[in-house]
Each structure stands twice: as C-alpha cells, then as structure tokens.
A and B are shown apart, each in its own frame.
Chain A
Amino acid sequence: MKRTTLGRVLALPAAAALTFGLVACGSANEQGDNTGGSGEGSGLSGTISGAGASSQEAAQQAWQAGFIGQNPDVTVNYDPIGSGGGREQFVSGGSDFGGTDAYLDDEELAKAKERCGELVEIPTYVSPIAVIFKLDGVDQLNLKPATIAKIFNQQITKWNDPAIAADNPGVQLPDTAITPVNRSDESGTTENFVEYLKATAAADWPHEVSGDWPVQGGEAAQGTSGVVQAVSNGNGTIGYADASQAGELSTAKVGVGDQFVEYSPEAAAAVLDVSKRHEGRGQYSYAYDLARDTTEAGTYPIVLVSYGIACANYDNAEKAELVKSYFNYIISAEGQKASADAAGSAPISDQLRQQIKPAVDAISAAG
C-alpha cells in the first residue's frame, strides 16, 4: 500500500500525453499541402464552412477536392446535416454557405435578407432520380406517370397488372407481388419524387407534397443507400433513388408525353431549361418551379435540383472572397464535371451558367 500510487498514477496522464503527442502531426496527405501545392497559388487562404442537404455531399466533396487543388491554403467544410438544418443554420448565421434541396420559403427568405442583404440562391446540383426495380427475369420496363403513382400508392399490387403490361408489350411479367420501397427519413429526394407524381398524375396521387413519404404500409429504408440496398435484397421491389447510386439495378423508362425516356444527365439538365424561374425573390435568387409535367421530347422530369445559398454581402472580406471563388468553381464547367464524375449529377447547361454567373459575382463584402 505504501509505495503505491504516485508512479502509477502518473502513468495515466503520461499515456494521455502520448496520445496528444501523436496529435501534433497531421495526416500524410495534408503534410505537404502548403509546399507541394501548385505554383500558381491564388493567394486565397482561410476556412469556410457550409451545411445542408445530404444529397450534395458527394458533389461537395468533389468540389472541395477540386477547389483545394487550385487553392491549397483554403479549407472548405460541408456538413451534410440535411436541407432543413442547412437553411436554418444559414439564415441564423451559423454557416457561411448552405446547400438545400428546396428553395427558401418566404419566412426564411426574409430572415436571410436580414442577414445577407440579398440572397444568392443558385441551382448547383441537378440529379436525376431513377425509378429502380428488381424483378427476376425483367430488366426493362416502361412506366407511365399514372402507373408509377398507382404502384407507389399500392393500388397496383402485382407485376402482371394490365396497366403495366399495356406499356410493356413483349415483356414476360411474373405474378409477383410488388414491394414499393420509399425513404424512411425526410428527404429532398422524396419531396421531388412526390412533387413529380402530384404534377403528372394528380388523379392517382391524392397525397400532399412534402419531404415525408405519405403512404403507409410500404417498405421504408434510411437514405439513398438504404433504399438501394432494400431494393437489391428483395424480389419484386421498386423504389426511387438518386440515379448515380442505382448501381446494378434496373431502372425504368418514364413516360413523358407519348414517349418513354431513360434517365440521362442531359435529359435531366434539360428540365431546368424548360422550367420557369420563380420571380419576385430578389435579383440574385434563381429558384425554379420545375416543369414536371413537361411533354418536351428528351427531358427527364424526375430530377432533384439542389441549390447553393450564399450571401450577397458578407461582413468579412476574406469570407466573401472565398465563398465567391468557391461558388464560381462550383458552377464552372470544370466544377460541374467534377461533380458529375464523383456524384453522377447532371452538369448544368451553358445557358444556365450564363444566367447565374452575375449572381455569384455579386458576392462581396461591401456593406
């Protein structure tokens, strides 16, 4: 008992100190950042943090990687806490920029203008939502909007239903029960998908539009990866998910007008060009009411449009400069290609880029 404690007690803090000693060195890929960066360093430095839609996370990672590659002294953080949280944090000043699957509502817009002067709100991430399914022996399906609505509303319960068969001549449809899979978490993907159903098949889709799945009794899974996994695990399953994550699963062609359109980045981005800008929200706000019911050939109307939000006026000149360059990178052809490669998004068209460029350039610290 006598000669016990001191030495042994000291051992614990020593072990702790050792742990913290390790902390001093950074990770291998960050050691050489300052010296190894490209010579043409832009002179930008600092940290900006954003938060918002989880749908953008993969894209944000690609943008960060590209942007940091050009500006080695910059750190960009993006916290995929969700659109709602992202908007709330942005308008309350908790983050430097935000990402959101739905544009700000009027109340949020008013608060944002209080913080920012003008709100910069631009579509940065356009992602087609694919209708994915797994059905043994079938890998191609044509589905009309009304049929999709009935399937997800559990009115069509068998794969060999006449409504499905009518659009798919020559396909051997089995007598398997349909298991529709939806997101269990509230999400922009759900909201956009439901909005599409409501716009194109209102008669068969009596539910309200929200980020929460309205139909009870289906299979529900968390997150895009959960839905994809659930659809893959079953047979006779059908779900909706970001097209980039569909992987090996079959995707349905969707009825637009009299045709059936397979999703593709171009077809998805085309929707923005036929959609109307939501007026009266300020000169730098490019919020779109998507033309879900378009009959234009070659458009794929089930898309998720996610916005980047920033202030036109920041208190801090360094922040303003960083956010402006970051957003400029995001909408550049290079940035859009990076996100297309990493997240499977649809690059925005040149025409749209021309339109929203002035909004990004307006970001400044004046005021």
Chain B
Amino acid sequence: MTQADTGAAGTARPARRRRLPLAWLGLAPFMLFALLFLILPTLQIVTGAFVDQTGGFTFKNVVNLFTPSILSAYWISIRISVASAFLGCLVGFLMAVGITIGGLPSWIRAPLLTFSGVSSNFAGVPLAFAFLATYGRLGLVTLILRDWFGVNIYALGFNILSFSGLTLTYLFFQIPLMILIVTPALDGLKREWREAALILGASGAQYWRMVALPILWPTLLGTFALLFANAFGAVATAYALTGSSLSIVPILLFAQIRGDVLQDPHLGYALAFGMIVVTGIANFVYIWFRTRSERWLK
C-alpha cells in the first residue's frame, strides 16, 4: 500500500516537472528565429550607435547626427511622413465615412475595401513607376493638364521628385491603409448613439463633435502614428522615384550601407538608431491609443 502510494506520487511529480520545460521548448524555434534574425540584428545597430571604432562607449555617433545635412534629411523625412499621414488619414477617413454612414449604396463597399487591400500593399518600385508615368514631366495627367487646361503643374512648383511629389505618391498606400483600419471603427459607431444624441436635443454637428469624434479619436491618432511610421520607413518607393536626388533618411542610410558615402560606419548605426527611435515612438503612440479605444468599446 505504502509502496503503491509513493510510486504514484513519484510518477506524478516528475510528470509535472517535465511538462513545464516541454511547453517552453515548443516556442524555442520561434524564439531562436526572432532572436537571431530580428532582435539581435536590431540590437547590433542600437549598440553600434553608442560604440566608437575602438569598441569604447561613446555618444559621438549620435551627436554627429546633429549636422545640418543629416538634420535636414530627418526634417524632410518627418515632413513627408507627417504630410502623407495627415492627408492619408483625412482622405481615407472621408471615404470610409462615405461607405459606412455617408449614405453611399452598399455595393460600393466591398470593391472599395478589396481595392484598398491591394493598394495598401502596392508600394515600392512599381508604385514609383506608376507615378512617374502619370505625374512625371511627360506623364499622362501632366500632359492633359498642360494641353487641355493650360495648367503647367511643373511651372507651378510641383515636382514628382520633390516633397510634394513624394507625398502625393505615398498617399497611394496611405489612404487605403487608413480606409482598412478606420472602416471597422466607423462600423463600431452604434446607430443608437446618434439617435440618443439627437433625441436629447443635439444637432448632427454636435453629435460628431461631442460623441463620434471623441470615440474615434484614439483610432484616428493611432492610425496617424502608424501611417507616419509606414511612410518614414519606406525606402523603395523613394529610392526608385528620386534616386539619390532627394535626401531623406532612409535613402541616406541606404547609400551609407551601399558604401557610396561610407566613411564612418558608426554614423550609419546612428542613422538607423534614429530611425528606430522615430518609428518606435510613433508605434508606441499607436499601441497606446489602440488599447484605449478598445477599452471603451468593450
């Protein structure tokens, strides 16, 4: 009897002990992969930004970022990202309002969402080609505006290879991304909220100002942050569009890595570190707002 008891306990205890390490092991391949090909490479860059040629700790690399040319690269990158994120949010929001509560016929909704799924993934080199072919000096729209309407957009200061052109191009993936994210949020606005506000004496504008927009606010700000990061990290579109004629941070880093201008590899680390900081802040903002809005709508 005693023997059977200890036997049972003896097998039970190791079984419990064995289960824990086994469960951990199930995640080992994924963790190893993430560590080797996502986290360590990033850490390498981050630490590299604070190390000098001899391996000692230094702030020199980061301080070196504060030169006029690099600062202006960050500045124009941030401006393009802010502009394309803002316009993307605005236009995407208005279109999403149209297909959800704006009274557009329901058959428009599905095709628009599918198209948004396609366009939000249609970034990179081909997108640059498309905009060159349309808004370049000999592009279709440029020529139509010039020949039919007598409007020379290039004489008016527009250039597809500049701030305005890049912003216009980025909108092609920014607007659809906004539509994809904000449409479910707009669907989440209950009809009863509007009706409750109206019956309590509010006007349509008051409903939007006091109820709908405050509810959507976290989603809107969060998506703005996401779109910002999205534009800030985009390399291919900008590179294919402008070559190296427009000095934005990702292109600067690209050139640095390619070795075109590589005198100081540690400056490259610092550039990349700066990018992580900017997109990291933007994404932190996004996640923070997102959890807030989810808490409300539970």
A pairs with B: no
